[in-house]
């Protein structure tokens, strides 16, 4: 297919190939040329040989001296009057300097793990790019990038303006070392007692809930069978009259709530396939959304009315019934004596006038049933007061970064165990933390936007996201999503809506091999892949491929580069984990700070299934 003058300009340095038969004597125009985007496949399959081909900028306006067939590369012997190539662009110069180092680096780490996805599944005119640091030996080239970006920020006319403290959130930690059943729910020192018989109230509270069992899982019991884990939640409560997102929050350390369940016929709630099994083989410990090794789980196993496992009221009823227990613990937590506080943490939200203003857009699921989230409950990760984003029409909802960290999302999300963001993920959201603490940027807030089922609705909400970003006058935006599926359609649309307003966007998602993007557009130039699994797939290990601190650091650096106008290296054709490795190295060499990469499923006791199937 022929290309437009605009495309020709964008691909000025790419090889020139005829799109269709052309007679000798014609003057070569953009319309005679094929889109370079398709060359990789043709070269791979041996249909095209680009050796000696002139570039598009060289041949435009030149005369064809010989009649050629379609897909014929234009070389010097068939073209008359080719222009001299323009001087290479600055980034390319940097690339060349770095080139000698590139080969050895790539060769040195052929089997390195880690993942930055830049594979494009299907689609046309997709320009995925990776930061300059991405090229194999990008250390040298990338080294200048953040420095340049920082300089641009510093040089802004706004000069030095004082950061303004907007609000603070204090977390008081209470330690729990033992969980027991007892006549009343109470916390005695570091022992949490859960009232015997509380199950009945949980069951009676929801018409759809037929049964509820509580299991207390200590580290010694990790190797036990469990139904699919629907959610992992912190146990936290607001102090006094404080509202979510500010004031004081009390939280129990060493213990988490875990929701599991089936319908009355034993079918998993909102779940597909086989992620049930032994807990210790199915949990990626220490991910923001997952339990830490050593924590005690208060695990509810809820039975809902048969057939409601896939309907909206079912999963919500299971969560609501479990929350009766959490709420009773919250009431005790509120009354605990201050002397039991083991640690106090304060999060300050600053606005930093004069710095680049950025916003985080987090896409959450809103297709229905278990693809739902309760937004802004009264208590951290509570039920009461929270509005399901499906009922809100999935429209964007603005929250403060501190509201996110204070549990403003109660997630019902159920599928894609490895990539789903559970309630605890938001409580420890790494991107929000990284952006909040970065003094070089001005984080103005977080926008949650649901992912509706129908495409028309996806574009409806996406346009609202674009409009909000326009009104916010941000200099840059992050767009994140969890998992993969039709949510990548709105993910791409958010990039377009924000990008078309001239705002640089960095996207974050699990992609790798299995979650390759289904669509793309020209604004999707900066992507960070959340994949951690060795083979780039949904490996059924809870929270393995979710957003981690290392991804947040990469995304923040990438957005700074984008806002500083630095070019980002184009994406490789196929997913290549080494891209992430070299980016991480580049960031380490610039910031001088080591970045500890998290472990992946290879660190878990190897279940037979994984050994045979995946690795």
Partner 1 sequence: MTDLKYGDKIIRMEGVIVEVHDGSVAIDLKGRLGYLKVPMRMFISDYPIKVGQEVAWNMSFVEQLGPEINEKYVSNLDTYTRRQKEMREKNQNNKEV
C-alpha dist (Å) from residue 564 to 68, 152, 236, 287, 591: 44, 6, 40, 31, 17
Which residue, chain included where needed, has tokens 């020139």? Answer: 16
Query: What is the CB neighbour count within 10 angstroms for residue 409?
Result: 28
* 3-class DSSP assignment, residue 387: strand
User: How far apart, in whole angstroms, are the C-alpha atoms of residue 160 and residue 513?
Assistant: 45
The residue among 304, 489, 343 whose CA lies nearest residue 509 is: 489
Contact assessment for residue 304 and residue 210, using Cβ atoms and an 8 Å cutoff: yes
- Bridge pairing between strands 186-188 and 191-195: antiparallel
Q: Reply yes or no on whether 68 is catalytic.
A: no
Catalytic residue among 19, 202, 414, 444: 414
Residue 160: exposure state from Cβ atoms within 10 A (0-12, 13-18, ≥19)? exposed
Which residues are within 8 A (CB) of 59 and not within 5 positions of it... i.e. 6 or more apart? 16, 28, 33, 74, 79, 82, 83
Using the minimum distance from each CB to partner 1, give the nearer residue, 316 or 469: 316
Query: What is the CB neighbour count within 10 angstroms for residue 47?
Result: 10
Site residues (CB under 8 A) for partner 1? 210, 225, 262, 264-267, 270, 272, 274, 276-277, 281, 303, 306, 310-312, 315, 365, 367-371, 414-415, 451, 453-456, 483, 485-487, 489, 518, 535, 537, 607-609, 612-615
Which residues are within 8 A (CB) of 171 and not within 5 positions of it... i.e. 6 or more apart? 236, 248, 249, 250, 251, 344, 345, 346, 347
Contact assessment for residue 98 and residue 77, using Cβ atoms and an 8 Å cutoff: no
Q: How far is CA 380 from the centre of its chain?
A: 22
Take residue 380 and report the two structure tokens written for it. Answer: 């951290």
Contact assessment for residue 59 and residue 16, using Cβ atoms and an 8 Å cutoff: yes
C-alpha dist (Å) from residue 101 to 90, 93, 104, 108, 577: 18, 14, 6, 11, 18
User: How far apart, in whole angstroms, are the C-alpha atoms of residue 253 and residue 272?
Assistant: 32
Residues recognised as catalytic: 414
């Amino acid at each position: 297919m022929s290309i437009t003058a605009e495309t020709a300009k964008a691909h000025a340095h790419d090889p020139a190939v005829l799109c269709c038969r052309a007679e000798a004597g014609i003057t070569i125009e953009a319309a005679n040329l094929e889109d370079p985007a398709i060359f990789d496949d043709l070269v791979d399959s041996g249909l095209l040989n680009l050796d000696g081909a002139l570039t598009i900028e060289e041949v435009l306006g030149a005369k064809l001296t010989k009649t050629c067939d379609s897909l014929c590369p234009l070389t010097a012997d068939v073209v008359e009057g080719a222009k001299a190539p323009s001087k290479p662009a600055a980034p390319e110069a940097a690339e060349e300097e770095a080139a000698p180092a590139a080969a050895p680096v790539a060769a040195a780490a052929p089997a390195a793990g880690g993942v930055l996805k830049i594979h494009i599944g299907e689609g046309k005119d997709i320009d995925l790019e990776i930061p300059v640091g991405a090229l194999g030996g990008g250390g040298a080239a990338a080294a200048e990038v953040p420095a340049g970006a920082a300089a641009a920020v510093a040089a802004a006319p706004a000069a030095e303006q004082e950061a303004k403290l907007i609000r603070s959130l204090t977390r008081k930690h209470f330690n729990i070392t033992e969980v027991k059943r007892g006549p009343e729910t109470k916390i005695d020192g570091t022992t949490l007692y859960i009232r015997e018989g509380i199950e009945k109230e949980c069951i009676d509270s929801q018409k759809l809930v037929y049964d509820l069992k509580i299991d207390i899982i200590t580290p010694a019991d990790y190797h036990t069978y469990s139904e699919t884990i629907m959610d992992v939640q912190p146990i936290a409560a607001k102090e006094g009259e404080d509202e979510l997102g500010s004031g004081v929050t009390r939280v129990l350390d060493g213990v988490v709530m875990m929701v599991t369940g089936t319908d009355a016929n034993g079918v998993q709630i909102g779940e597909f396939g086989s992620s049930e099994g032994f807990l210790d083989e199915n949990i990626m410990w220490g991910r923001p959304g997952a339990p830490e090794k050593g924590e005690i789980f208060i695990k509810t196993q809820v039975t809902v009315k048969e057939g409601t496992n896939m309907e909206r009221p079912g999963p919500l009823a299971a969560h609501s019934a479990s929350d009766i227990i959490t709420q009773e613990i919250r009431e005790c937590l509120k009354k605990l004596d201050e002397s039991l506080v083991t640690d106090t943490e304060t999060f300050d939200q600053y606005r930093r006038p004069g710095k680049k203003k950025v916003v985080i857009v987090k896409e959450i699921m809103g297709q229905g049933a278990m693809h739902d989230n309760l937004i802004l409950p009264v208590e951290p990760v509570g039920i009461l007061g929270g509005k399901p984003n499906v009922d809100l029409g999935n429209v964007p909802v603005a929250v403060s970064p501190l509201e996110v960290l204070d549990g403003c999302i109660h997630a019902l999300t159920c599928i894609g165990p490895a990539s789903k963001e559970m309630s605890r993920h938001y409580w420890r959201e790494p991107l929000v933390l990284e952006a909040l603490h970065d003094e070089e940027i001005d984080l103005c807030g977080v926008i949650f936007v649901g992912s509706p089922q129908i495409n028309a609705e996806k574009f409806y909400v996406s346009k609202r996201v674009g409009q909000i970003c326009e009104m916010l006058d941000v200099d840059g935006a992050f767009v994140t999503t969890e998992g993969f599926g039709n949510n990548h359609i709105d993910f791409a649309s958010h990039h377009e809506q924000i990008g078309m307003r001239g705002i640089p966007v960095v996207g974050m998602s699990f992609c790798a091999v299995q979650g390759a993007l289904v669509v793309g557009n020209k604004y999707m130039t900066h992507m960070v892949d959340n994949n951690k699994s060795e083979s780039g797939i949904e490996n059924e290990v809870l929270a393995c491929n979710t957003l981690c601190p290392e991804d947040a650091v990469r995304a923040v650096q990438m957005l700074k580069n984008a806002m500083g106008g630095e070019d980002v290296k184009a994406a490789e054709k196929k997913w290549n984990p080494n891209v992430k490795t070299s980016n991480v190295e580049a960031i380490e060499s610039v910031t001088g700070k080591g970045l500890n990469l998290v472990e992946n499923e290879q660190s878990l006791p190897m279940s037979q299934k994984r050994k045979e199937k995946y690795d």
